[in-house]
Chain A
Amino acid sequence: MDLLDFGIIFARAIFVIVFCLTMVPVLIWLERKGAALIQDRIGPNRTSIGFLRLGGLIQIIADAVKIFFKEDVTPGTVHKFYFYLAPFIAGFVSLSTFAVIPFADNLKIGGKLVHMQVLNIDAGLLYFFAIVSLSVYSVVLAGWSSNSKFPLLGGIRASAQMISYEIPMGLSVIGLMMIYGSPHLNDMVQRQGELLWGFLPRWNVFLQPVAAMIFIICAFAETNRNPFDLAEGESELVGGFHTEYSSMKFGLFFMAEYISMVVSSGFIVTLFFGGWQIPFLTTELLTNYAKPIIQISLVLASLISFYICTNLYTYHKVHKNRWKDSRDYEGLIFSVITGIASIIMLVVLVLMSYIDLPTWLPPVFTLLAQVASFVIKVFLMCWVFVWVRWTLPRFRYDQLMNLGWKSLLPLALLNIFVTGAVILFLG
């Protein structure tokens, strides 16, 4: 262990935390905008810092400032210790689960193998289940310590729901462990880079569709999101387990929900959608053919950037006199910026064909490309969470239990047997 090792560990941890925390505002924005578009509305679009509106992202800053400066009320009858502990458990659990997710392939720097996950342990999946099952404590403690009816009901519902959905969730991944013979997540992701029948990426969603479905459904239930948000159930239970919370203690629950959305998406992507793998581009391919791949992606990025530039310009022309202040120039400014960016990319492209790449660049490029692929996949999966939330109504409590115990559990068991039989016959 020298300084470099410590630095690497530190950098990975920081990356994961920063990634999770920056995803929170982005997801809130995604949720609000997604909900608005699905419901034929526009969503937040007016808050601004100077000319910056960023399509409503600034609204999230305003919300954050508001929630920080709200009065923090602690009702007199609560059990103080547990009342304060609950939001911290929520935040801690959702942040620490991300530790085992690999976000890029192992990197070789100067003969040293660097694992691109914070915790490179063999029991990756087991760690996930161990930590995630702690999250029920936050809900139960919050519900009980609030000393009030609605939070208590919310807490009871949530504990029953989370415990019953953890079982099919755990069973659904057993099929995967049978295929790979290990719960180590990076191994699984590496194996998903192969091809199935020569044309399909060998993602687990194609090998284990039933398991994928069960896991995704259970992930919704674990994160307490619609259609499984019985813990909150604002139409029946006021606010559910966080009724008595205010200010940033409530904010912590709120953030934890979004972080656990990111984490669940991360796990779904890692287990079933190829993790950091870019379809058809393995690590060797990316490293060996770094130059042409960089060139192609530069061309694509430049084209996309140019498209955005022209679109923003037409937007600016249509909405010239909308606000009558500096916000009117936002479209113009960003159109200029994207236009310049696309030109710079073209210049870099031309320059690149004259020089040879330095040797350190291909591995770094591979790393960045894989991280980008992972982030994009996680983002799309988060979008699925949002999309489902604004489509489906909430389950009734008995329906929820029926689905969990009478449908998902037998299905998960059946999946294990079928997988076992197939493995046995195919060798």
Chain B
Amino acid sequence: MIKVSRDVSELKEDIYIIEIMKGLGVTIGHMFKNMFDLSKLPVIDYPNQEKGIPEGYRGKHRLTQRENGDPKCVACMMCATACPADCIHIEAAETSNNAIEKYPNRFDIDLLECVFCGMCVEACPVDAIRMDSGIYSMVDFNRRDFVVTKNELLAIKPQLESTKALDIRHPMQKYK
């Protein structure tokens, strides 16, 4: 039989009471500390104050634009092919601009099916689709409203510098 040595005496733990008292001491300590000073809590006042999200976070998609406001997308279908959830629906149309030949007439993403894997961003050869909008809370009353269209995607702006992640960590984490 292998004996594993423990650095606490077993009897002391088996009596329960001492250890329980210690535990109760820890929790009541937290409570008293927090009761008199709520401002030090590692929490944010969520809808009033947003935490922001770190760079590289995959939020709601957006379509990038050319200088004249047209979408950069050339309707090559790379993203729709790469998408594992099969939730990008593109309708290509011909354009007078001979350099690109095609543009998306429709570009719909069903956010309810999307798994936010970022494959579409990886696949795009012209950097037309990005997920750097910083929008993480997508709420609606209707399933149909979760299908975002080309114009909506074009209108979304990238996340601003000022809203980038606040440093809100648990006090314990800061020592790591």
Contact = CB atoms under 8 A, between A and B. Distances in A.
Interface in A1-58: 34, 37-42
Contacts of B170: 40
A38 B35 CA distance: 9
Interface of A: 34, 37-42, 213, 322-323, 387-388, 390-392, 403
Contacts of B45: 322
Interface in B18-42: 20, 23-24, 26-28, 30-31, 34-35, 38, 41-42
A36 B114 CA distance: 34
- In this complex, the member of A34, A41, A42, A391 whose beta carbon has the largest number of chain B beta carbons within 10 angstroms is A391
B30 to A, nearest CB: 5
B85 interface: no
A42 B45 CA distance: 9
Given A42-B41, A42-B43, A322-B45, A37 B34 contact: yes
A390 B43 contact: no
B48 interface: yes
B23 A37 contact: no
A387 to B, nearest CB: 6
A319 B48 CA distance: 12
**Which applies to chain B's interface (DSSP): helix, strand, loop or mixed?**
helix
A160 B42 CA distance: 42
Contacts of A392: 20, 23
A38 B41 contact: no
A41 B38 CA distance: 9
Contacts of A37: 30-31, 34-35
Interface residues of B, number: 19
Contacts of A41: 41, 43
A38 B27 CA distance: 5
Contact of B24 (A39, A387, A403): A387
A42 B42 contact: no
Contact of A391 (B16, B23, B43): B23
20 contacts: A34-B31, A37-B34, A38-B28, A39-B30, A40-B30, A40-B34, A40-B42, A40-B170, A41-B41, A42-B41, A322-B48, A323-B48, A387-B24, A387-B28, A387-B31, A388-B24, A391-B23, A392-B20, A392-B23, A403-B16
Given A40-B34, A323-B48, A391-B27, 20 more contacts: A37-B31, A37-B34, A38-B30, A39-B30, A40-B41, A40-B43, A40-B170, A41-B41, A42-B41, A42-B43, A213-B17, A387-B24, A387-B27, A387-B31, A390-B27, A391-B20, A391-B23, A391-B24, A392-B23, A403-B16
A322 B44 CA distance: 13
B7 to A, nearest CB: 21
- In this complex, the member of B23, B31, B42 whose beta carbon has the largest number of chain A beta carbons within 10 angstroms is B31
B96 to A, nearest CB: 50
A42 B38 contact: yes
Contacts of B24: 387-388, 391
